[in-house]
A and B are shown apart, each in its own frame.
Chain A
């Protein structure tokens, strides 16, 4: 097994990006075992609201239940296996399979199956299979394992103080973008975990300092000015954070815990408020009880499939949902304060411009790599210093895979 002989600091061997068997193993070992990002509460704001999500071969229903939590159900009818709910999102009371109208309660219990003459049919044996669901700071996570990893509550304890003040429970979806990238899900994640390629993101570079991931030692001469500006902006941001009692310190445990996380609050260029050309706010309504728009971006990276940017005026969630070895659905969701009015408080095009463009650029990068991995002449390449988070992601992945194989 090449997992045993992985060359640290180098990208994975080609089959990890191309082989359907390895993809199946990924699904079992990673998406079948660990806490993965599903959606935000803004996508299922009221009891009865649901989203359906596919992770490789798995299909799940994430339903906002009457107790304010989530029910996570496998979207596989216990009759003949049909998808019970076919819409990507909606609202429902009971869940009715469209094929033969088997009807399940929101908890997944089979409560109705028209069965003339079936005297011995025992409905209690055919409940929808359940998975674990958890809401933390307004983000919904699911876990398909029978016994979920227990350290996720510690991960949640790390990010809750950062994300809580943005009050995701009082946001609404302004826009959601679904892109299918022709690339393995790991390439999608690897691309997200570094800014070495950020020269390729002109829109993003307006507000995101291109020095991300660099240090005093690694700053190239052409970025020295930017680095200086970055340092000043960061000092000013940290001063504000201390005044408002907002945490900003970097917590980085990407591969040192099972619920791998990196979180921090970092300055933005320009006015320092949002992902706009001049760094100014993109929505006029502040999130939660935040006192100030100039709060940079709180960024969170979670293993294995998500990352987040939280600004004073909006939040962007990103989830990677694997389809097969060479295709991944990347879902980006823009959240604004739930009382913000489109066209009054924000302009949808302007709000989404930077990340729509950036996502398309990233899609192209990922697809270039996927094509390369398919070449007989592909060989593992070295991650650079500024790509340490990519290495951490791969190290997390390899460690989990080894654990799974045992």
Chain B
């Protein structure tokens, strides 16, 4: 290596934080359908998968690469596991059910891999090593598990603690970080029992070299090691952490390994000041009987999967809460405007699946909701941009799809002459409007009361909410872009381009 003579490469420019690809997938489709459904990681599914490859790994492990028989990609979050039925006693007997972390990255969803360490005393893992070959099909359920990376993380600063086979979910995380653009800072501290026991070490070495965001530290614990060992030694300790990861305090810690290792890690992390709320742990179940909480999770996942399988369409339409739950946290109070360097341009808009919400919120729109969308959304727009726009968006949807529940414009009396009809749903009047006439002029002529002062689009005093249709507005600063986005307009300086439904 001539690392000292390496050419000076400019520092990589990256977007702020780490964003999982399904955020974009969802926002790019209308409703959680098609590819978005397949790539959305939050609906556990029952499926059959076929082994396509087996790769021996160090530490007595074997990587089994699978693909779904139905051809769909497998959506999951890095760190989650799947539950697999192993037909150990033949196809007609009750299979042995076990959970294994997925070691591949969700950014390559068409195949996925699990990595199984062979425990000679175990019942399932030797069978798996012996019997699963390309072509073997297994029934699976997943994804399951709360141990995973967030969908969006502005501060993707992680400390990954792995011991032995605990590397598998963390391997998925590292591969995911490497596959995604975005600022991140990952330190993997990987404890093994012998120099040749570190699974994935060749790939990890490569990733650490190729990706400046990733740092990998191997550690042998306090066992004897040969002279050729160049990694660290010593059990996980406060000194080791202080030395290797002095800023652990500001990181999110994901740890996976045997129980004893994790118990001591818990104490150590506290002692170096890592807050409990920043620590996520997965007890690596390996080949032991499924732990109680796993069994419970798997059972719930199974129920959900059955529900989805029964009625896919209806299921998604009836799950607004579930979708909401998995929106990135940061848009709970409205999207964050990206400011600063262009490289920080996290496109908050793209992450908000507004379209989904329209479909969902439409279901229960009533006159009352609609009334709220009028004056209410004005204040919403002031404090949280998206809240207002969502309310208005749902109202828009309502007039399209559910108008009988609101006001049926067709049932209103109609006055005036002109190409387009404006339905004033509060006044209860349809007003025809000509193309050269402003909305305000026509409304006033028909007796619809809209307060207005300057009538030149400056003062904003006539601002009202448009529930449907298009206008052409030539305002002079009396309305803000985000108010327009929220469905408002100034009737004094607007002409109708289509039929309109107006909340006035």
Contact = CB atoms under 8 A, between A and B. Distances in A.
Interface of A: 45-49, 90-94, 96, 101, 103, 105-106, 111-112, 114, 169-170, 172, 240, 243-244, 271-273, 280-281, 284-286, 289-294, 312, 337-339, 341, 344-345
B460 interface: yes
Contacts of B247: 243-244, 291-292
B454 interface: yes
A101 B461 contact: yes
A341 B273 CA distance: 22
A289 B155 contact: yes
B71 to A, nearest CB: 37
B479 A93 contact: yes
Interface in B377-397: 381-382, 385
A286 B155 contact: yes
A281 B155 contact: no
25 contacts: A46-B385, A91-B382, A93-B480, A94-B476, A96-B453, A96-B460, A96-B461, A103-B454, A111-B476, A112-B453, A112-B454, A114-B454, A169-B339, A240-B246, A243-B247, A272-B273, A284-B275, A285-B154, A289-B183, A291-B247, A291-B250, A292-B247, A293-B275, A339-B329, A339-B336
B77 interface: no
B480 A280 contact: no
Contacts of A272: 273
Contacts of A312: 250
A190 to B, nearest CB: 36
Given A103-B454, A312-B250, A91 B480 contact: yes
B273 A271 contact: yes
Interface in B62-81: none
A111 B458 contact: yes
Contacts of B458: 94, 103, 111-112
A343 B478 CA distance: 37
B249 A292 contact: yes
Given A101-B453, A339-B154, A284 B277 contact: yes
A243 B454 contact: no
A93 B273 contact: no
A271 B273 CA distance: 7
A82 B480 CA distance: 24
Interface of B: 154-155, 157, 183, 246-247, 249-250, 273, 275, 277-278, 329-330, 332-333, 336-337, 339-340, 381-382, 385, 453-454, 456, 458-461, 476-480, 482-483
Contacts of B278: 284
A106 B456 contact: no
A94 B477 contact: yes
Contacts of B246: 240, 243
Contacts of A244: 247
A398 to B, nearest CB: 41
Contacts of B454: 101, 103, 112, 114
B453 A103 contact: yes
Contacts of B453: 96, 101, 103, 112, 114
Nearest to B332: A341
A91 B381 contact: yes
A285 B329 CA distance: 12
A286 B156 CA distance: 11
A93 B460 contact: yes
Contacts of B183: 289
5 smallest beta-carbon distances between A and B, as pairs:
A339-B330, A292-B250, A91-B382, A112-B454, A103-B459
Contact of A294 (B154, B249, B337, B479): B249
Contacts of A170: 336, 339
B275 A281 contact: yes
A293 B336 contact: no
A46 B482 CA distance: 10
A293 B251 CA distance: 9
Contacts of B337: 45-46
Contacts of B275: 280-281, 284, 293
Output the residue of B247, B477, B479 with the most chain A CB within 10 A: B477
Given A94-B460, A280-B275, 19 more contacts: A47-B480, A91-B381, A93-B460, A93-B477, A94-B477, A101-B453, A103-B454, A106-B477, A111-B458, A111-B476, A112-B454, A114-B454, A243-B246, A281-B275, A284-B275, A285-B155, A291-B250, A341-B329, A341-B332
A101 B459 contact: yes
B478 A94 contact: yes
Contacts of B340: 169
Contacts of A286: 155, 250
Output the residue of B247, B250, B277, B336 with the most chain A CB within 10 A: B250
A62 to B, nearest CB: 16
A265 B183 CA distance: 27
A217 to B, nearest CB: 32
B214 to A, nearest CB: 16
Contacts of A172: 333
B197 to A, nearest CB: 32
A293 B329 contact: no
A112 B382 contact: no
Contacts of B479: 93
A92 B382 CA distance: 8
Output the residue of A114, A294, A339 with the most chain B CB within 10 A: A339
A48 B480 contact: yes
Contacts of B385: 46
B440 to A, nearest CB: 15
A240 B273 CA distance: 13
A46 B480 CA distance: 11
A387 B183 CA distance: 45
A294 B247 CA distance: 9
A226 B476 CA distance: 63
B347 to A, nearest CB: 15
Contacts of A291: 157, 247, 250
A170 B346 CA distance: 13
A291 B329 CA distance: 21
A275 to B, nearest CB: 15
A169 B337 CA distance: 10
Nearest to A272: B273
B459 A112 contact: yes
Contacts of B476: 94, 111
A319 to B, nearest CB: 21
A293 B461 contact: no
A114 B461 CA distance: 13
Nearest to A281: B275
A96 B385 CA distance: 22
B443 to A, nearest CB: 19
Nearest to A285: B155
A290 B456 contact: no
A240 B183 CA distance: 22
B462 to A, nearest CB: 11
Output the residue of A90, A169, A284, A291 with the most chain B CB within 10 A: A291
Nearest to B463: A93
Contacts of B459: 94, 96, 101, 103, 112
Nearest to A112: B454
Given A286-B250, A293-B250, A105 B480 contact: no
A94 B463 CA distance: 13
Nearest to B336: A338
A96 B382 CA distance: 16
A106 B479 CA distance: 12
Contacts of B277: 284
A92 to B, nearest CB: 8
A97 B456 CA distance: 16
A220 B273 CA distance: 31
Contacts of A101: 453-454, 459, 461
Nearest to A342: B333
B333 A290 contact: no
Contacts of B477: 93-94, 105-106, 111
B249 A293 contact: yes
